[in-house]
Amino acid sequence: MNTDQELEDFLDQDLTEYLVPENFTPATFEFATKDKSITLRISSALLAAVKEASKAQGMSYQRYIRQVVEESLSR
């Protein structure tokens, strides 16, 4: 969407066919206030791998680490 008009035109459509569970992703801790920080020492190689994986997912490496921790805890 490049303009407000294009966005308005898109939202004026019947979007019912898009409102199915497959088009949604779970979101839990990501919206919680991040009021604590931690220090974690890892190898340069592991950090590089994390950054590469997070880039492939289109997110910051800190968010990627939070997501991986959350997924691990939900198993």
Mean of all residue pLDDT scores within the chain: 88
Cα separation, 5 vs 53, in Å, equals: 36
Query: Could you read off the pLDDT of 27-42 as tens digits, one per residue?
Result: 666 677 889 999 999 9
- Distance CA(53)–CA(61), nearest Å, equals 8
Q: Which two tokens stand for residue 55?
A: 């880039």
Tokens of 13: 């459509």
Residue type, 36: K
Instruction: Give the pTM.
Output: 0.60
Q: Is 61 left (phi over 0), alpha (psi -120 to 50) or beta?
A: alpha
Residue 6 is inside which H or E element, if any?
helix 4-11
